[in-house]
Amino acid sequence: MNDKKSKKEQKTSFCPVAGKCGGCQLQNMTYERQLGFKEAKVVKLLGKYCHVDNIIGMEHPFHYRNKVQAAFGSTRGGKIISGVYQSKSHRIVCIDRCRIEDRKADEIIVTIRSMMPKYRMTAYNEDRGTGFLRHVLVKRGFKSGEIMVVLVTGTVVFPGKNAFIKELLEIHPEITTIVQNINNSDTSMVLGETEKVLYGKGHINDSLCGCVFGISPKSFYQINPIQTEKLYNKAMEFANLTGKETVIDAYCGIGTIGIVAAKEAKQVIGVELNRDAVHDAIANAKLNDTKNIRFYCADAGEFMVDMASNGEKADIVFMDPPRAGSDKAFLSSVVTLSPKKIVYISCNPETQARDLSFLVRNGYKVRKIQPVDMFPHTAHVECIALLTRVK
């Protein structure tokens, strides 16, 4: 690539708040260079275990985030602003449009901000703990097109609520449901415990890999559905299910991987510590009429040790831990259960490398590694590893 072309491509990718936001660390690289950078990172960390397949990128790596979250505040002059927190601070960078966020979600957030003065609606002040609107969260179903708007407020009282909702729906009739989430705690957590459905059913549906999933304000759902389908399809390819297997879906969340796997497995057991997520997972299994899956609210590691103690076996374990990876107790429990295969999906190849080292020392061999670019223009890379038991 010549320098002239490289500079031109860097210029066209420039974001006006790049220096403040900090969200898209690689945006001044061409997308091809980003993919090369991420693949090289995975090779460096995991290449000693086996060959690393070429990274799976996006055909159109923009506006992929189906979940958009905006913090609200005010300038010293009293102007209401919304956007993201500046890197390593709690100062809000005002953003109207973002090249990786869903366009419609951005439009709705800007509309809400512009309506606030008319309804004498104040933005929350973190320092004083006063004000009304703290955050707006918009989730959009990629295939269903359904849109959920969550208004996170500092108080239960919502002045002019009915008129505000009516006008918002007149401007954006595409909105499926509106929820008020009350968060009056001095916390960095976005969502509070209490919710009130203001319009619609309080959740939306979307489909993934031929299955339907309900998405609530608090439920975790992958933010890039196009790449998630590629990720899950590759994970199923690695698992190579025949219909005879007992599968464990550890860290199962709302049941996405387990329900997809249940189409090809004999039975699936999903284990998750978050009670709300388990509730959503059970509802999702019913939504898909999936009868060969069970969900348990438990620590996945302890659950697998109990299975082994009772003489029960699993053929495959799917594990998709948080960025911190798995702790030694969990990995030891996997080894104790001794499945024939482990499909390890990671959002952090550094902690995945550490965990693979433990599993390799305890009777497993890494057979395949597949990086997937789930978050274009950021430094993050997802990675699937297939391990098989060798002793």
DSSP 311-365: T---SEEEE---TT---HHHHHHHHHH--SEEEEEES-HHHHHHHHHHHHHTTEE
Q: Residue 264: helix, strand or coil by DSSP?
A: coil
Q: Which residue has the tokens 């008020």?
A: 180
Per DSSP, helices labelled H in the chain are 3-12, 18-21, 31-46, 103-115, 161-171, 225-239, 256-262, 275-287, 300-309, 328-337, 349-361
Which residues on adjacent β-strands are paired with residue 195?
181
pTM: 0.90
Burial readout 150-171 (b: 16 or more C-beta within 10 A, e: otherwise): bbbbbeeebeeeeebbeebeee
Q: Where are the domains of the chain?
A: 46-59+224-389, 67-205
Fold for domain 67-205? OB fold (Dihydrolipoamide Acetyltransferase, E2P) (2.40.50)
Quick check: is 347 catalytic?
yes
Look at residues 81, 296, 85 and name the one whose alpha carbon lies nearest to residue 190: 85
The span from the CA of 302 to the CA of 228, in Å, is 28
Residue 9 tokens read as 């491509």
Question: Could you give phi then psi for residue 197, rounded to 5 degrees?
Answer: -80, 120
Contact assessment for residue 124 and residue 131, using Cβ atoms and an 8 Å cutoff: yes
Question: 371: which residues sit within 8 A by CB, 6+ positions away?
Answer: 38, 39, 42, 52, 53, 55, 56, 349, 381, 382, 383
Please give the chain's pLDDT, 391 residues, in tens: 444 444 444 444 567 777 677 778 888 899 999 999 999 999 999 999 999 999 999 999 999 999 999 999 998 888 999 998 887 777 888 889 999 999 999 999 999 999 999 999 999 988 788 889 999 999 999 999 999 999 999 999 998 999 999 999 999 999 999 999 999 888 778 998 899 999 999 999 999 999 999 999 988 888 999 999 999 999 999 999 999 999 999 999 999 999 999 999 999 999 999 998 999 999 999 999 999 999 999 999 999 999 999 999 999 999 998 888 888 999 999 999 999 999 999 999 999 999 999 999 999 999 999 999 999 999 999 999 999 999 7
Q: Indicate which residue of 50, 94, 297, 347 is catalytic.
A: 347
The span from the CA of 347 to the CA of 382, in Å, is 4
Question: Could you give phi then psi for residue 169, rounded to 5 degrees?
Answer: -70, -30
The span from the CA of 302 to the CA of 243, in Å, is 26
Angle at 274 between CA 272 and CA 278, to 5 degrees: 65
Instruction: State the sign of the Cα–Cα–Cα–Cα dihedral 274, 276, 277, 282.
Output: positive
Residue 376 tokens read as 């274009």
Look at residues 189, 218, 195, 194 and name the one whose alpha carbon lies nearest to residue 126: 189
* 341-346 and 364-372 strand pairing: unpaired
Q: Which CATH class is domain 46-59+224-389?
A: alpha beta
Read off the amino acid at residue 286.
K
